Structure formats: C-alpha cells, structure tokens
Structure 1
Amino acid sequence: MNAPQPDENAENTDRIRLTPGAARQMPRKDLFIRFAFGAGVSLLAAIVSTVFGPFPGGAFLAFPAILLASLTLVAKEDGLRSAREDTRGATLGTLGLLAFSLLATTLLPSHSAWLALTVATAAWLAVSLGAYALARAAGKRQ
C-alpha cells in the first residue's frame, strides 16, 4: 500500500522556515511602516523612562514594536490565517523571553555575565522550542 503523498500546493504552517532574500523583495513602503512603528514605540519608551524612571521605560522597550506592524502587513498580503500563525509564534517566543528575563534577573547579580546570559539564553531556547513542540502536538490531536 502506498503512503499518501503530500499536496505540494498545500500550505504547511507547522514548518519553521527562513527565507534570507525575502527582505529584498518587500516593498519599501512596508519596510518604512515597520521602521516607523518601531521608532515610535522606542520614542514612547524614552519618554516613559524620562518621566517615570528606567524600570517602566524598560518594560516599554520589551514591547514587540515591529510585531503589530508586521501582523497588519501579513494579514493584508497573506490573509488572517498567516497573521494568526505569526501571532502564535510570537507568543511562544515571548514565553521564552520571559524565561530569559527571569533567569537573567536572578543570576546577573551573583554570577558572571557570561554564565548568567548563557544560562538565560539556553532557557529561552528550551522554553520557546518546548512550547512550540507542545503546541504542535496539541494541534495534531485535534
């Protein structure tokens, strides 16, 4: 019995892929929107830091400035499904960044920066990939 062949035209949203030349194919207007949105959020973080101090300002720097602009463009060009998948990926990556920040904050005061940042980076990678694997496994069960 032959195994079913994958449909070459079907979109596989579970696969992680990197397309190095994609930025060159992007319209300049889209790049400008992303740049302007990121600059605007950075400016807002600077204002918040000046008025309220570095801790609240740092929280604004953690805001994924380019994500909102990117999701808007992805939804417009590739549809809501693609934008939803990008949002899921960003959410899983954010879980990893949370692990990174918690470990870095805990380890940096008492350990060398190299050790603390290496452990925090390993935690980011493990949590992000682990969350991706769990999400993918949960999706296959539905």
Structure 2
Amino acid sequence: MSRSPGSSGSASRSGEGRGQRTEDTDRVRLEVRAAWGMPRKDLLVRFAFGTGVSLLAAVVSTVFGSFVGGVFLAFPAILLASLTLVAKEEGLRRARDDVRGAGLGTSGLVAFAVVGTVLLRHHSAWLALGTATAAWAVVSLAAYAVVRAAGRGGDERP
C-alpha cells in the first residue's frame, strides 16, 4: 500500500495560503506494480530483518519454550526494515505515519486475538475466525477514523 508520491500523510495543498487546493493525498491505495519496481537492495534489507527476527524467535522458543517464542513470532519483523527504509528515503514524517498505522492495525489484531480466543472454545472455527476477522476490521478502521478525526498527528505539521 502506498500514498501518492510526495505526500506526507496530510492533505497536499500546492497553493496553500493562496486558496488553491489539490486532491487529498492521504488516501491509502494498493499498487501491486510498485513492488516490481522496488530496488533489490530494499528487498534484501526487508528479507534480512525478517529472517533475523524469525531466527531470534526460534532461539527464544528453544531456550524458553514455545509460549515465549510465540510472542516473538508475533513481532512485525518487516516493520523495522520498512521504517528504516521509509525514514531514509521519504523522511521521518512518513515513517511516523507508518508507525501510527502499524499501531492502529495492532489494536485490530488484539481484538482479533481476544474474539478468536473466546469464540474458538465454544463455536466452529469458521464462525470464530470470521467473527474475529470482522472484529479486526472494525477496530482497526474505527481507530483510524478516530485518529483522522482528531487531526491525524497534528503535532507533526510544519
């Protein structure tokens, strides 16, 4: 997923102060073709971070048991690599936007885990996982709506 080039997570206004407005560049959209144009070095960095975190989880599982190791597997390994690259190529403001999005998505994953844990004990897997997925979507989108309504990081505006 990406935003329009040059967007900093807030509405772009090329003629700000002169009354001219351009389109809202805060919209999130999926650009599948963009993955093919990604530099190989960036892919390698992401792969290396993901591999490193997975190896760490394997070592922790071996030493401390599968429960503790499972917590490490839940760690978003690709996030560290992505944030490093985004901060380097697009600036800290965009990296902060990505961190905020990861946090909002994590709140949805917590909802998924809670709903799934409760429902899987007494209902079919299809019902439990379907409901948990719906909970993830509702919580994540609601969190996004709240952050957006609250000014979506007004502390970062120039």
For normalisation by structure 2, the TM-score amounts to 0.80
Distance 1:67 1:25 in 2: 20
Give the corresponding residue for 1:87.
Answer: 99
Which letter does structure 2 place at the counterpart of 1:119? T
SS of the aligned residue for 1:25 comes to coil
> In structure 2, what residue type is equivalent to 1:89?
G
Look up the match of 1:32: 44
Q: CA deviation at 1:26?
A: 1.0
**Residue 71, structure 1, aligned to residue 83, structure 2:** yes
Q: Which moved more, 1:113-122 or 1:46-55?
A: 46-55
Letter of the aligned partner of 1:6 in structure 2? Answer: R
Cα root mean square deviation, aligned: 1.6
Whole-Å separation in 2 of the counterparts to 1:119 and 1:5: 45
Instruction: Compute the TM-score of the two structures, normalised by the length of structure 1.
Output: 0.89
**Residue 5 of structure 1: CA displacement?**
4.7
1:59 to 71, 79, 89: 71
Once residues 19 and 6 of structure 1 are traced to their aligned partners in structure 2, the CA distance between those partners, rounded to angstroms, is 25
Residue 118 of structure 1 and its aligned partner are, at CA, apart by 0.4
Q: Does 1:123 align with 2:135?
A: yes
Deviations 1:26-68 (A, max 9, x none): 1101101101100111111111112211111111011010001
Matched letter for residue 31 of structure 2: T
Which of 43, 50, 62 aligns to 2:62? It is 50
Which runs of at least 4 in structure 1 moved beyond 6 Å after TM superposition?
none
| Aligned length in residues | 135
1:102 to 98, 101, 114: 114
Query: Deviation at 1:7?
Result: 2.7
Q: Which has a greater percent of helix?
A: 1
Q: By how many angstroms is 1:70 displaced?
A: 0.2
SS at match of 1:21: helix
Which residue of structure 1 aligns with residue 147 of structure 2? 135
- Take 2:68 and 2:147, find their aligned partners in 1: how far apart are those partners? 31
Unaligned stretches of 5+ in structure 1? none
Greater CA drift, 51-60 or 92-101: 51-60
Q: Which residue of 2 aligns with 1:19?
A: 31
Shift of 1:108: 1.2
CA distance in 1, matches of 2:72, 2:37: 30
Residues 61-91 of structure 1, C-alpha deviations (whole Å, 9 max, x = no match): 1101000110000010111111111111111
* CA–CA distance in structure 1, aligned partners of residues 55 and 117 of structure 2: 25
Distance 2:127 2:67 in 1: 24
